[in-house]
């Protein structure tokens, strides 16, 4: 069986995102952090050469935007990855897929102009609380919150019941994501039997989710 990257672009099944947005991108790459906010991504880029890939939804566009984040000189640098009909391009060089792009620049420098270069040294993988949509299965709606709907669901790995908060409206996605991540940061600080357990957050693609312990009423 061919891998996702070996299948011709025109034959790949699309990853449907939010309100018809399609992402022609292999989200299984372990350095793909989805719509992780810059504030959170920057904390993961600890050493020069650390890198990861983020995504951004763009208004009135049919595709999300991909961004390569690299740490250099003690601060993060971000480069747009341009989408092509049959692949991706960065600083004028084209590749069939993002994995090939990354592997190429792990052994070569990215020429930024005026003598400035970047190099991809260490891929930063998802952290303890970063999950994917494939990690959960929603079952039924149980309520609603300030920025979305609450569902009962299960973890696919072991069938554990969980409560899942979901951002619903596309016109609230950006602010909803900001608010959701504020809550996620706070919940990561607490690990106590008397506090609702926090499993993680999901931003690999919309809708964005918070996953926590399911408490029966």
Q: Which residue in this structure is represented by tokens 């566009």?
A: 61
Contact call for residues 129 and 201 (beta carbons, < 8 A): yes
**Is 165 assigned to a binding site?**
yes
What backbone torsions phi and psi does residue 42 show, to the nearest 5 degrees? -60, -30
User: How far, in whole angstroms, is CA 11 from its chain's centroid?
Assistant: 24
User: How far, in whole angstroms, is CA 171 from its chain's centroid?
Assistant: 19
Annotated binding site for ATP: 165
Residues in the annotated binding site: 165
């Amino acid at each position: 069986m061919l891998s996702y990257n070996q299948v011709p672009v025109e034959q790949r099944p699309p990853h449907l995102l939010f309100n018809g947005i399609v992402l022609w991108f292999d989200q299984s790459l372990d350095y793909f952090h989805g719509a992780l906010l810059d504030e959170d991504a920057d904390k993961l880029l600890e050493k020069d050469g650390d890198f990861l890939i983020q995504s951004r939804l763009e208004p009135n566009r049919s595709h999300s935007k991909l961004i390569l984040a690299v740490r250099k000189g003690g601060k993060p640098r971000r480069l747009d990855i341009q989408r092509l009909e049959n692949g991706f391009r960065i600083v004028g060089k084209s590749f069939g897929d993002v994995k090939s792009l990354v592997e190429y620049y792990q052994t070569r420098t990215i020429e930024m102009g005026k003598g400035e270069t970047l190099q991809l040294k260490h891929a930063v993988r998802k952290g303890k609380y970063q999950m994917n949509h494939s990690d959960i299965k929603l079952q039924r709606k149980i309520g609603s919150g300030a920025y979305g709907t609450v569902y009962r669901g299960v973890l696919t790995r072991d069938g554990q019941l969980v409560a899942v908060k979901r951002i619903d409206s596309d016109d609230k996605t950006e602010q909803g994501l900001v608010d959701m991540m504020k809550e996620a940061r706070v919940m990561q600080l607490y690990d106590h039997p008397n506090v609702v357990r926090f499993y993680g957050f999901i931003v690999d693609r919309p809708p964005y989710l918070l996953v926590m312990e399911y408490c029966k009423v």
